[in-house]
Amino acid sequence: MMIPGRTLHRLAARLCTAKTLGQIIEPAIADLQKEYAAAELAPALQRVRILTVGYLAILEVTLMCALERPATTDGERRAIARIVVWSVGLTAVITALLMLVPLSIVEARPSSLFLAGLISQAVPLAIPIGLTLGIALGLTGRAVTSGLRRIILLSAVLASLVCFVTLAWVMPAGNQAFRESVARAAGITEPLTKGPNEMTFSELDRQATIAAAAGNVRKASQYAWSFHLRFALSVASIVLAGFLLVTSVRGMRVFIALGSCFAYWVLIFVGQELAVFSSVAPAFAGTTPAVVLGAWLPNIVLAAGMLLALSRSSRLRGSWTTAT
């Protein structure tokens, strides 16, 4: 049986003090584990709900610990509070906007399963965008101190964990439950074949191997690209937040945040083209390096930009130090 929260516990052990870990984080993880174990025979949707509620509670606990510990000045606390408010608000708005198009297609009143399926698809995209814009707006007119930088990066790591859990378990289970409910309503009783979005990591890996063995390169690379993209998308929050902090120029942060989010989104499609459909280099498409490179392309490009900006700023600081 799966024991949730083990990775989170290992991560928290590195980030928090022993006292915070023992008094605050571990009891919250223990609650989630006991609840999940008690619901072993419950329907999948109920277990997904337990995981979501439990992980959100742990996220909130960890964020509060981050707010209580490293931020030392009132200004830093106010900045963090503003970032949290902007990020949560924008994530909710972006999730709603991403759901608008599918909702407009449905004529009947959407069921809760339909909405759960849509939310689980929208959240992994909405969180990195909401967090990046939230950081930019929360820091308006404020210099970034090392304390703020530490808390922002910690928040980005937590946001990435939420995205990973959503992409790995919540989204596949939510999508499949939604499709089954629609099929049942239409009188279809046969089991439904899962698409890439409804598959877990192990199922995607198995399907990619089967398709490759059958000689269907395009299908195999599509499954493999979906597999790697879920990992790559999970770290989008860290990459986008890091890029914004490194390239941050007061007065330009919101534009940089918007530009980097847009670039990330465009690069996902460029990466898919490279990995699966490449008309530029057909011999390269479908190979393992192409699939991995295609899925991780947005992170690689932004990380390279981050390193470039870091080396430039240290060169500038060096020349300034020499001049003075």
Partner 1 sequence: MDVPKLSATERLILDLLSGEEMFGLQLVEQSKGALKRGTVYVTLGRMQDKGYVESWTEKQADGAIGLPRRLYRPTAYGMRVREAWAAAERSLRGLKPRHA
Q: Could you count the other beta carbons within 10 Å of the beta carbon of residue 185?
A: 11
**Contact between 26 and partner 1 per CB under 8 A:** yes
Residues 238-277 that bind partner 1 (CB under 8 A): none
CA gap 114, 244 in Å, rounded: 35
CA gap 299, 117 in Å, rounded: 26
- Angle in degrees, CA 146, 152, 158, rounded to 5: 140
Say if CB 32 and CB 5 are below 8 A apart. Answer: yes
Q: How far is the CB of 75 from partner 1 (least distance, A)?
A: 22
**Contact between 92 and partner 1 per CB under 8 A:** no
Q: How far is the CB of 218 from partner 1 (least distance, A)?
A: 42
Residues 42-61 that bind partner 1 (CB under 8 A): 53, 56-61
Q: How far is the CB of 34 from partner 1 (least distance, A)?
A: 6
**Contact between 69 and partner 1 per CB under 8 A:** no
Closer by beta carbon to partner 1, 58 or else 297? 58
**Contact between 35 and partner 1 per CB under 8 A:** yes
**Contact between 3 and partner 1 per CB under 8 A:** yes
Say if CB 291 and CB 275 are below 8 A apart. Answer: yes
CA gap 217, 286 in Å, rounded: 6
Closer by beta carbon to partner 1, 28 or else 232? 28
Closer by beta carbon to partner 1, 3 or else 85? 3
Within 8 A by CB and 6+ apart from 147, the residues are 70, 71, 72, 73, 76
The contact set with partner 1 (CB under 8 A) reads 1, 3, 5, 9, 20, 23-31, 33-35, 37, 53, 56-61, 64-65, 68
